[in-house]
Amino acid sequence: MVGEEVKRRELETRVLEKVGHVITSVTDARYADQVICALHSLAVLLFPIDSHALSGSIDEKYRDEVLGAEVPSTDERSNWWQVFYGGASFPTLARVLLYDVVSNWLACFPISTRKHVYDVFFVRGRVTEVVQTLVSCLQQKGNGRHEISPVCSNAERLLVLCLLENDGIVRMASELVGFSHFEDISNKQIQPDISRMAQFVTSIPDKAQVGAPTTLSSHLFFKQITIQLLAGAEEWDRNLCHEAAMVNKGGVDGFISFIGEVFARICRRGSADVLLSEVITQILQQVRNFLLPTSDRAVSEAFESRPGLRFWLNMLVAIKDPYAIERMSEQLLHQLATLNASDVEAYWILWILFHRVCEHQTSIRSMFVEKFLLRKVFPVCCLRWILQFSVLECPPGTTSLSKGHNSHGLLHTVQGLLAVWSRREFVQSAPIEHQAYITAAVGLSLEKMSKEDLDRTKDAMQSVLQGVSCRLESPVYLVRKMASSIALVFSKVIDPKNPLYLDDICSEENIDWEFGLPTPEKGMLALSHSTEKGNEDKGHYMMISDKKFNNTAGVDKDLKGKNKNLSEFKLIDPDEIIDLTTLNTESVSDDEYDEDASETSETSSDSSLQPYDLSDDDADLKRKFSQLVDVVGAIRKSDDADGVERALYVAEKLVRASPDELRYVAGDLVRTLVQELTDARSVKPKTLPRALISTISETQPWFMPSTTGPPGAGSWKEVSGSGTPLNWSYSYERELPTKPSQVNIGKTRRWSIRSANIQENQLEWSQNQFPQYAAAFMLPAMQGFDKKRHGVDLLGRDFIVLGKLIYMLGVCIRCASMHPEASALVSPLLDMLSSREISHHVEAYVRRSVLFAASCILVALHPSYIASALVEGKFEISKGLEWIRMWALHVAESDTDRECYTMAMTCLQLHAEMALQASRAIESAESASKFKSVALPSNLPKGTIKIPHSIVEY
């Protein structure tokens, strides 16, 4: 032993002397061939090099030196290699190779020469040492002597050669394991080295520079090393003599331990999807091979006994990072769902990868039975796999559950699921996707239970009844359908012969536990595509009015035809229910009537020309109304004033007599009554009204164009614009008299502020009669909402009524848009909406209504009014609008309901447009005041209108 140690030290001295001589030759070299000869003299002592391959690429006077180099024996070369890479020689030479040679000589090397006397030191060296040196080189910064960019580019090239093109990752794992066997130390002792090398390898994509090879990108790099490690693990397993060799002195074999460390760090760096795509591709193929009908062995036996497959059983056991296992588990389930794996295939893949780790680590088992069932949301197929593997613990297709811990685990899981599912707070705050997932988990679990199992559960029946009852009170049809599905499954467990159907749609044999929500097969499915029972949510999506609501601001009747093409902006009532009896009462437009009449007049038969009894029409006009449907139809007949008046007269009596009918026609009736008001037309002598809101320089109201102009100018007429229905203003034009020098008719001047009146022939046409009644209609509805009266609790049990009330107030303020009355009603409405009991209501239905009403306020207020209020020092409106912005931001960032934060983003867009228009109005006012030498109030900057994504405040 002493003699061998002496020989080793002597060899170390010789190696260091040779390295020093090579470095000196490289430093003193004046030609590239001198550097090549110096490096070759060392390389030939470490690697089997064909010197004749270099002779043709160097000058003749250096050729004899290369060909005459002394070639050692195989044993001597092995000893030189071990000493060179095991001591200080390689790091010393590597610094010269990576900096001096790269900066001064490497570009002059022929490709073949660079491969044999330069790349060979890294490609065929000890991978653990080479990787540490090259990765450290990527982190170096320029020191003045060398340009860092070529140095990093060369290091990246060598990493690709060493790790990817020459299976360096597998060689690194073999070196670590071989070193532990050679030194007779346990895997636990070399675990720090394994972790450090895994960290070096997985950090390469992050440390590569911008122009690095694409193979060093995280996606491609992690994919390649995953393929290498899986192939290397299979080969390593195949070479083992017996199964006991899979476990060494320190636990899991060092090779598998290195794989686990690398996989864990890949998941930590956000590439679990890349890793699992390769893992699933291989293991799914293996499982399918053993699930063939001709296979006579169970999958479990095959993987436990067949060499080359046993490493799958210990792969996750080697991963000590719980977060990495969780990320791998999630990706595994999602990718299996994407690949449409069968229930049997998915079960056996989960068993192969997780059954051992679940046996030894309680936290991993709880991840499946608690976190994956209660906190995460997976597709329903993944939910079935989770229950089958972690709860039932048996392959799919088992006819009955075995008694013991399997049945006990199912009962325990059902109790935990019902405890969450039955809480009212969960129904109020959880996203709809999470509610559907927990509901499906409860339903699938109940389907596996018998009445005897149910009797052994604690408070199961009470929890089911509580959860069903609180969901049946929800305004969302999807939530009510969940209650119906659980009630049906539960009734089948109690008495299979007498199922309980709370909903006609749940009458099918197999319940759809996806509830129409997005799945990998279906893609995204909008919730607004639900049936008529779900129409109460539709109104929250579409907040832009149709042509009838556009008439509320005094748009000419000729604009109605143009607005018919804007059907996508239709305002949908959340209570609207289509009744077949009302289809015949819908009024038909004049154009459609004329077109149909012209067609039928040409093709009509002789019988159509026969006279008929006019008394029938008279009787029809004077008939009595017996249903609210008839009232709605009569009010819509704008050409029958008497019928409208009689319908309004009997409406109250019919409501009192048939309150049940309101369930079907309430929305239609209220909508008809409010467009009756907003579309009414009257003619009256023109009077010059007193200004309702004072302006800066004129007594003319802010919503009317100025009447000043040259003599002979025509009256202002409203014209349609080319914008969308989101426009805040309409244009007005009038004819100007021609000048004496002009021959053509004078051009048109346009006014960009919307007017409620159209002046012509000293008469005023008023199309919207609703604003004058808006206050009397809205103010009483806003009073006492927070008090319990006559058994009505709007903030609590009767939150649906509160949501509909708020929605109605939003519609009313929208009907009075662009009128001074709207500005007077905004403050009390904002006071109601901003109260914490409403704006932070636990029910998402109420929050959606508040967002809708806030958006209606933004549309109803004219930017000119906001500008005038700020100029006059009235900052209440500014505070209210700022509350809308801040509250919408809060909802968009933190609300769990998808519809709420979607509507909040729309509300923020409306606020941004309003703030932009108001800021322009203020700028116009400032320029006008400077021109007329009128000083604006000094306290103007106190009012703020914030524009998102801008630092400007007005």
Sequential DSSP letters for 377-407: ---HHHHHHHIIIIII-S-TT-SSPPTTHHH
**Does pLDDT of 87 surpass 50?**
yes
Rounded to whole angstroms, the Cα distance separating 118 from 111 reads 10
**Does pLDDT of 396 surpass 50?**
yes
Query: Beta 682-685 vs 763-766: how paired, if at all?
Result: antiparallel
217-220: long-range pairs with CB below 8 Å, 24+: 218/269, 218/270, 218/271, 218/274, 219/271, 219/274
**Does pLDDT of 890 surpass 90?**
yes
The tens digit of pLDDT for each residue in 187-243 reads 677 888 899 999 999 999 999 888 889 999 999 999 999 999 999 999 888 887 544
For the four alpha carbons of 775, 776, 782 and 783, in that order, the dihedral sign comes to positive
Closest alpha carbon to 81 in 38, 39, 34, 48: 48
Q: Which of 57-61, 321-325, 577-581 has the lowest mean pLDDT?
A: 577-581
For the four alpha carbons of 726, 729, 734 and 739, in that order, the dihedral sign comes to negative
Mean pLDDT, the chain, as a whole number? 75
Q: What is the structure's pLDDT at 548?
A: 34
Q: Are 160 and 213 in contact (CB under 8 A)?
A: yes
Q: Hey, how many other C-beta atoms are within 10 angstroms of the C-beta on 554?
A: 20
Tokens read off for 540: 């929250």
Q: What is the structure's pLDDT at 865?
A: 82
Q: What is the structure's pLDDT at 951?
A: 40
Higher pLDDT: 522 or 768? It is: 768
Q: Which residues of 14-29 are buried (b: 16+ CB within 10 A; e: fewer)?
A: ebbebbeebbebbeeb
Rounded to whole angstroms, the Cα distance separating 607 from 611 reads 9
CB neighbours of 224 closer than 8 A, spacing ≥ 6?
164, 215
Percent of the chain residues past pLDDT 90, beyond the cut: 32
Alpha-carbon distances, residue 460 vs 57, 375, 437, 451, 728 (angstroms): 85, 21, 19, 11, 57
Q: What is the structure's pLDDT at 744?
A: 52
Higher pLDDT: 681 or 258? It is: 258
**Tokens 């932070």 — which residue?**
840
Mean per-residue pLDDT, 1-6:
72
Rounded to whole angstroms, the Cα distance separating 504 from 487 reads 13
Per-residue pLDDT band for 945 (boundaries 50, 70, 90) equals: low
Rounded to whole angstroms, the Cα distance separating 194 from 254 reads 8
Mean per-residue pLDDT, 340-355:
94
Q: Hey, how many other C-beta atoms are within 10 angstroms of the C-beta on 500?
A: 15
Q: What is the structure's pLDDT at 677?
A: 59
Per-residue pLDDT band for 298 (boundaries 50, 70, 90) equals: confident
**Tokens 């969302």 — which residue?**
476
Closest alpha carbon to 368 in 317, 326, 327, 337: 326
Q: Are 768 and 814 in contact (CB under 8 A)?
A: no
Query: Beta 763-766 vs 758-760: how paired, if at all?
Result: antiparallel
Higher pLDDT: 729 or 824? It is: 824
Rg (CA), the chain: 41
Most confident of 271-285, 304-318, 795-809: 271-285
**Tokens 């001047």 — which residue?**
749
Mean per-residue pLDDT, 338-346:
93
Element (H, E) at 732: strand 731-734
Higher pLDDT: 468 or 636? It is: 468
CB neighbours of 274 closer than 8 A, spacing ≥ 6?
218, 219, 222, 223, 226, 266
Q: Which of 123-127, 812-816, 919-923 has the lowest mean pLDDT?
A: 919-923
Q: What is the structure's pLDDT at 626?
A: 67
Tokens read off for 16: 């260091």
**Does pLDDT of 353 surpass 90?**
yes
Q: What is the structure's pLDDT at 781?
A: 81
Higher pLDDT: 305 or 945? It is: 305
Per-residue pLDDT band for 403 (boundaries 50, 70, 90) equals: very low
Rounded to whole angstroms, the Cα distance separating 64 from 166 reads 32
Q: What is the structure's pLDDT at 215?
A: 94
**Does pLDDT of 559 surpass 50?**
no
Distance of CA 118 to the CA centre of its chain: 50
The tens digit of pLDDT for each residue in 799-819 reads 888 888 899 899 888 888 877
Rounded to whole angstroms, the Cα distance separating 837 from 522 reads 38
Alpha-carbon distances, residue 448 vs 384, 401, 422, 451, 755 (angstroms): 11, 8, 20, 10, 68
CA angle 437, 442, 444 (to 5 degrees): 90
Rounded to whole angstroms, the Cα distance separating 157 from 147 reads 17
CA angle 490, 496, 501 (to 5 degrees): 60
Element (H, E) at 765: strand 763-766
8-state DSSP, 186: -
Closest alpha carbon to 262 in 271, 558, 245: 271
**Does pLDDT of 827 surpass 70?**
yes
pTM: 0.70
Closest alpha carbon to 888 in 814, 834, 927, 828: 834
**Tokens 């703020």 — which residue?**
944
Mean per-residue pLDDT, 243-270:
75
Rounded to whole angstroms, the Cα distance separating 514 from 439 reads 10
Which amino acid is it at 782? M
CA angle 489, 495, 500 (to 5 degrees): 50
Q: Are 483 and 472 in contact (CB under 8 A)?
A: yes
Q: What is the structure's pLDDT at 874?
A: 76
Closest alpha carbon to 205 in 110, 138, 128: 138
Q: Hey, how many other C-beta atoms are within 10 angstroms of the C-beta on 939?
A: 11
For the four alpha carbons of 429, 432, 434 and 440, in that order, the dihedral sign comes to positive
Higher pLDDT: 254 or 199? It is: 199
8-state DSSP, 368: I
Mean per-residue pLDDT, 294-314:
81
Q: Which residues of 871-904 are buried (b: 16+ CB within 10 A; e: fewer)?
A: bbeebebbebbbebbebbbebbeebebebbbbbb
Q: What is the structure's pLDDT at 450?
A: 87
Per-residue pLDDT band for 511 (boundaries 50, 70, 90) equals: confident
Mean per-residue pLDDT, 619-631:
63
Higher pLDDT: 631 or 896? It is: 896
Adjacent-strand bridge partners of 247: 252
Per-residue pLDDT band for 948 (boundaries 50, 70, 90) equals: very low
**Does pLDDT of 954 surpass 60?**
no
Tokens read off for 939: 């306290």
Q: What is the structure's pLDDT at 702?
A: 39
φ, ψ of residue 519 to 5 degrees: the values are -135, 160
Rounded to whole angstroms, the Cα distance separating 138 from 81 reads 25
Query: Beta 758-760 vs 251-252: how paired, if at all?
Result: unpaired
In the Cβ-directed half-sphere of 112, how many Cα atoms lie within 13 Å? 10
Most confident of 207-221, 724-738, 744-758: 207-221
Q: Which of 497-501, 514-518, 695-699 has the lowest mean pLDDT?
A: 695-699
Mean per-residue pLDDT, 351-355:
93
